[in-house]
Structures are given as C-alpha cells and as structure tokens.
C-alpha cells in the first residue's frame, strides 16, 4: 500500500536481450520520480516522470523488486 512517502511498483517488463528491465511506479503527493530511493531497485540506467503521479525506471537485470514493492522517498525529499 503506497502513501505520500513511497512509490509502488505497478509493473515490471524484462528485456533479456538487453539485460534490462522497465519498472513502472505510481505514487501520491507532489513528487517526481527522482525523489524516491531508486537504488533499492538495483543498478538504475535511466528514469523519467510520465504523469503527475507515475514514472518509469530502466534498470540493469537482475532487479530487486516485484509488483507491489514500495520504494521510500529519499531522505530530505518532501
């Protein structure tokens, strides 16, 4: 269950040929994807906001997440 202090993983799509995975996140509150501790997912290659409350992360395989995993805000992010 996500709150204004965390983002939730809503989907994961692996691309084994490139050894990457795309992770889609959703959150509440006035945040950007860069406000969250994305390193908890693994080695991050890229990330981008899509809407006011969603964004995606491109990570190197393997990742440390599954659908429903929550990612906390970085310390100092509001």
Specify the number of domains making up the chain.
1
| Residue 77 covered by a domain | no
The range of the structural domain enclosing residue 50 comes to 6-72
Which of 28, 29, 25 lies closest to 37, judged by CA?
25
* Per-residue exposure over 64-73, b if at least 16 CB sit within 10 Å of its own CB, e if not: ebeeebbbeb
pLDDT band at residue 9 using 50, 70 and 90 as cut-offs: very high
Read off the pLDDT of residues 14-44 as tens digits, 9 standing for 90 and up: 999 999 999 999 999 999 999 999 999 999 9
Q: 3-class secondary structure for the chain?
A: CCCCCEEEEEEEEEECCCCEEEEEEEECCCCCHHHECHHHHCCEEEEEEEECCEEEEEEECCCCCCCCCEEEECCCCC
- What is this structure's pTM? 0.90
Whether residue 62 lies inside any domain: the answer is: yes
């Amino acid at each position: 269950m996500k709150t204004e202090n965390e983002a939730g993983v809503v989907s994961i799509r692996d691309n084994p040929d490139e050894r990457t995975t795309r992770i889609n996140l959703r959150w509440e509150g006035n945040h950007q994807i860069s406000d969250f501790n994305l390193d908890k997912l693994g080695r991050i290659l890229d990330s981008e906001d899509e809407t006011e409350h969603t964004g995606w992360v491109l990570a190197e395989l393997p990742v440390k997440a599954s659908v429903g995993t929550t990612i906390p805000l970085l310390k100092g992010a509001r």
